[in-house]
Structure 1
Amino acid sequence: MALHQQALRGSLRSRDVILDKDRGLWVRVFRLEELENRTLPIVIFYHGGGFVYISAANAIFHRFCEALSRKLGAIVGVCELPPSSGAQAPGGLRRWLLNWVREIAKSSSDQDAFAHADFSKIFVMGDSAGGNLAARVALRAAQDGIPLAGQILLQPFYGGTSRTESELRLGSSDPMITLRITDFCWLAALPEGAVDRDHPFCNMTLELPGDLARLGARGLARALVVVGGKDLLHDHQVEFAKILEDAGNAVKLIDYENASHGFYLVGDDSCQESVLVLDEVASFLRE
């Protein structure tokens, strides 16, 4: 268990960096001004929303990334993604996301937004649907030889045609999502021609083991996977972590028994797990 670490105080700057105006792709970058006398790790964050909802400009994610930047003492960039961009064009979007990571790694991104950045410490992070994307970017980065310091996956969004025990038990009682919602998201997001939820973008068991086997000794960037016992997606997420671990990758799985989907977005001390998870992420960055 990570020890509680006080969030850093001071003026926080945020700046929107346009990456592709025609496609509506941009990133909101957060950085504490008082830390500009030292190099800072970079956390590239992909927001949740089932691939079809919410924006990086949403107040909930804005506040969450502010809290991340303060807690971690890091430059945090939250990516704006077009609706349905996640799975409708998995190859194209994944290449774009990876190219952006590559540009950051080469220190050629926006120089003001990433001033004082430590380009040897780039982490990809995502929650829910964004966790799915972050994991795919981490996999592609490993395949292309792009070094990442780690991947942080908060309740990554996966599924399949076969219902898991947690889906059957919590499918209508999770306060954040239901099976009806997740089924709709996959219907809207999966690419044209997908027959059902047993598509590799949704069901990671189909291709991920083979992809990891082909990586061999190169392996993936170490992973922090956070799940919740009251999240209907719990069993898919635990299986994902097990696949990574069985392939010889460094994985830290944290399972909060009483946490529902999106618990980390509560943003105050009323949800103990929302405080603890930021401590765990901060500890992971320091390792």
Structure 2
Amino acid sequence: MPLHPQVQAHLDRLAAANLAGLHTVTPDVARAGARRLTAASVGEPEPVAEVTERVLGTDAGDVPVRIYRPSGVPTGATGARPLPVVVFFHGGGYVLGDLDSHDGLARALANGSQSVVVSVGYPLAPENKFPDQPNAGYAATAWIADHAAALRIDPSRIAVAGDSAGGNLAAVVTLKARANGGPYIGFQLLIYPDLDFRRTNRSITELAGQYGNITREAQQWFMNHYLTTEAEKLNPLVSPLLEPDLTALPPAHIITAEYDALRDEGEEYGRRLAAAGVPVTVKRYDGMIHEFLRHPFDDAKVAIDDATAALRRFFDSGTGPRS
């Protein structure tokens, strides 16, 4: 399909801004530019019932989080079941992004899924290198599960979610939880996830530098900041698509976009999960681009509705920790 007209208008505005290539600037300059773009393009965030911030003292150090409680859900009734929780990891190539950049998406996920969303402010590169980010993401998820009563959440209904690099982190956290025997994670929502650092598939090569996708040079810029050695690209905790055994992982809902350079790896991961016996839904949104869920596009609302419906189905299923 052609680009959606709303997407084309967005890309035209980006082109008119004549932004410098990411690989030509420092991380601090890139972060400042990303914050300006977010403020100009993501729209007004929707209200939720409550937003609180705290710092979790985890085994991987202090991790800041922002906690969203959804609108329209009574929480004070005696005997009411605690709400489910989505542990959310923001995108940004492990260099950009923060709790503010994905505030709108976190709010939409909380209200749509009728769950508590805990958005995790994991440490960024290059100040922090792999494996600091997976360690922090896993430790934060374990802390949330261990402190469910204090957080007023249901430890039998925990999902992880993330977009782009955050989708990578959500997938990696499920691998670490399986290896460590917990915490229980019942579902994974992977939004145009970054899953293969080899950067060799068709969409990553053919769409680089087009339709808002970063260039090949910028791909390398992000990887150089995140990783210390070339060999780390082949580590399944960097490239989950390279994990040889995907059995016994949580059911998944994977979102991809037609004009996203990360499209093929997300869809291949879905096929590999299905082949390993993991229930999975993969939905591609035609005419859409990377990061489209963070923009006020009509199809972003459709995709969020689809994602939160998948979360609600898991939360309503009564599925809990496997014995």
**1: CA distance, partners of 2:302 / 2:193:** 18
What does residue 225 of structure 1 align with? 254
Q: 1:160 to 1:94 in 2, by over 3 A?
A: closer
- Kept in 2, the 8 Å contact 1:13–1:31? The answer is yes
- Kept in 2, the 8 Å contact 1:19–1:26? The answer is yes
Alignment counterpart, residue 249 of structure 1, candidates 255, 274, 278: 278
**2: CA distance, partners of 1:99 / 1:196:** 21
**2: CA distance, partners of 1:96 / 1:10:** 28
Structure 2 matches for 1:55-204, cutoff 5 A? 55-58=98-101, 61-84=102-125, 88-90=129-131, 92-107=132-147, 111=150, 114-115=151-152, 117-146=153-182, 147-161=184-198, 163-190=200-227, 192-195=228-231, 197-204=233-240
Please provide the CA RMSD for this pair: 2.6
**2: CA distance, partners of 1:94 / 1:19:** 15
Q: 1:156 to 1:87 in 2, by over 3 A?
A: farther
Amino acid at match of 2:109: L
**2: CA distance, partners of 1:104 / 1:127:** 20
Q: 1:162 to 1:125 in 2, by over 3 A?
A: closer
**2: CA distance, partners of 1:159 / 1:223:** 17
Name structure 2 gaps, 5 residues minimum: 1-45, 314-323
Q: 1:69 to 1:204 in 2, by over 3 A?
A: closer
Amino acid at match of 2:266: Q
Q: Give yes or no for the alignment of 1:239 onto 2:265.
A: no
Q: 1:77 to 1:11 in 2, by over 3 A?
A: closer
Secondary structure of 1:45's partner?
Answer: strand
Secondary structure of 1:177's partner?
Answer: coil
**2: CA distance, partners of 1:49 / 1:139:** 21
TM-score (norm 1): 0.81
Residues 185-218 of structure 1: per-residue CA shift (max 9 Å, x gap): 111111x233474454444343x12x43xx5xxx
Q: Give yes or no for the alignment of 1:273 onto 2:299.
A: yes
- Kept in 1, the 8 Å contact 2:70–2:114? The answer is yes
Q: 1:63 to 1:186 in 2, by over 3 A?
A: same
**2: CA distance, partners of 1:86 / 1:43:** 27
Amino acid at match of 2:273: L
Q: 1:148 to 1:108 in 2, by over 3 A?
A: closer
**1: CA distance, partners of 2:100 / 2:140:** 19
- Kept in 1, the 8 Å contact 2:51–2:66? The answer is yes
Amino acid at match of 1:25: V
Q: Which shows bigger deviation, 40-49 or 78-87?
A: 78-87
Residues 238-271 of structure 1: per-residue CA shift (max 9 Å, x gap): 12222212211111111112111000000x3xx2
Tell me the CA shift for residue 285 of structure 1. 1.7
What does residue 26 of structure 2 align with? none
- Kept in 1, the 8 Å contact 2:109–2:304? The answer is yes
Q: Which shows bigger deviation, 255-264 or 97-106?
A: 97-106
Q: 1:242 to 1:96 in 2, by over 3 A?
A: same
Alignment counterpart, residue 17 of structure 1, candidates 25, 34, 54: 54
Q: 1:119 to 1:23 in 2, by over 3 A?
A: closer
Amino acid at match of 1:18: V
Residue-pair matches, total: 261
Structure 2 matches for 1:40-51, cutoff 5 A? 40-51=83-94
Amino acid at match of 1:49: G
**1: CA distance, partners of 2:285 / 2:291:** 12
Secondary structure of 2:69's partner?
Answer: strand
Q: Give yes or no for the alignment of 1:30 onto 2:71.
A: no
Tell me the CA shift for residue 223 of structure 1. 0.6
Secondary structure of 1:88's partner?
Answer: coil
**2: CA distance, partners of 1:169 / 1:97:** 31
Q: 1:126 to 1:162 in 2, by over 3 A?
A: closer
- Kept in 2, the 8 Å contact 1:51–1:87? The answer is no
**1: CA distance, partners of 2:107 / 2:176:** 28
Q: 1:16 to 1:196 in 2, by over 3 A?
A: closer
